[in-house]
Amino acid sequence: MLSKKTKYAFHALTYLGKHKDQGAVPIQEISTHHNISHKFLENILLELKKAGLLGSKKGKGGGYYLIKLPNEIPLSKVIRLLDGPIALLPCVSLNYYEPCEECASQEKCGLNMVMAEVRDETLKILEMKTLQDILERE
Amino acid sequence: MLSKKTKYAFHALTYLGKHKDQGAVPIQEISTHHNISHKFLENILLELKKAGLLGSKKGKGGGYYLIKLPNEIPLSKVIRLLDGPIALLPCVSLNYYEPCEECASQEKCGLNMVMAEVRDETLKILEMKTLQDILERE
DNA sequence: ACAAAACCTACAAATATTATAGAGTAAATG
DNA sequence: CATTTACTCTATAATATTTGTAGGTTTTGT
């Protein structure tokens, strides 16, 4: 399941997408609108900024804004940033690979291959669908 | 990511599948072989039994054994039992449905539909693949 | 100068996961 | 029939992760 962090991130991105002609949007406005703790959201937006999805402006009249087009932000990117791996096993994760400690050998692990399939199908969707798709549905 | 509980469950089921002509297999044997805490595994096997996947025999010479054919045990069943929902959002879960608290309306939630797609593709695989498939690969 | 708002680090609280303990119950066996 | 083996059940402890808070610093517009 997606964490609250990730869900909040999507809410914030969606809000910014809807208000992109408004320029910089202060955290306060988003947190009030979506009923999210101001400080918690702060951390999330900072991460999104560091990852290159958002720009920001300090001081009075400042806030956050998208620096990419909504169709350039795949859902997979957001999930990976806030939640980590999309795969169900570390040994089939593309971005957060780790060998399974309890598995003797990776070749002999029967789960391995099935979970790689699940990962591929999931990514097909999450990499194709973008913030744009979410915006179109709200 | 799958929890240890779920991974242990798969290991145990696989072990039981490989040793099914041996009759009842005591917890001890599995926990030693896979290096799992005896007591922890105990809880897991009990859950699998209550769910109708395993049978058990008490006393000397007792243990657990499969009461279904490996091809009758889809991976989805095991994951749901130990880990809960397979879907990424509660509002698109088939077995553990709950409305998303922070979403205003479900129809207006842009994530909803995409995550239902992900769920469907994931289930296509996890419901088709069974313990049999894992056994064949080990 | 002042107020608004992002930036940053650390910490606290809540929740979930993983693991352990110990007292029952049932069955086999000598 | 006593003993040993092994499942059953419930409660609790330990650990890790997630969620949320606190408080100060820096930047910017007026």
DSSP symbols for A19-58: TGGG--B-HHHHHHHHT--HHHHHHHHHHHHHTTSEEEE-
Question: Which among A111, A91, A88 is positioned nearest to A100, based on CA atoms?
Answer: A91
Tens digit of pLDDT at every position of chain A (138 positions): 999 999 999 999 999 999 999 999 999 999 999 999 999 999 999 999 999 999 999 999 999 999 999 999 999 999 999 999 999 999 999 999 998 877 766 666 889 999 999 999 999 999 999 999 999 988
Residue A137 lies in a domain: no
Residues A10 and A56 in one domain: yes
Q: In whole angstroms, what is the distance from residue B106 CA to residue B35 CA? A: 45
Same domain, B10 and B58: yes
Per the rule left: phi > 0, alpha: psi between -120 and 50, beta: everything else, B61 is left
Question: Which nucleotide's C1' is closest to A55 (Cα)?
Answer: C6
Q: Are residues A41 and A80 in the same domain?
A: no
Given the structure tokens 């932000």, which residue do they identify?
A73
* Residue A53 and residue A106 in one domain: no
The verdict on B89 and B115 lying in the same domain is yes
B55 Cα to chain A: minimum distance (Å): 23
With an 8 Å Cβ cutoff, are B114 and A121 in contact? Answer: no
Q: At what angle do helices B4-18 and A110-128 cross, to 10 degrees?
A: 140
Nearest-Cα distance to chain A for B29, in Å, is 16
Q: Chain centroid to CA B120: how far?
A: 18
Q: Up-side HSE of residue B65: CA atoms within 13 Å toward CB?
A: 14
| Residue-wise pLDDT tens digits, B90-121 | 999 999 999 887 776 666 688 999 999 999 99
Is B138 in Cβ contact with A102 (below 8 Å)? Answer: no
Give CA–CA dist A102/B42, Å, rounded. Answer: 18
- Cβ-based contacts (< 7 Å) between A 26-85 and strand D: 36-37, 39-40, 43, 57-62, 83-84
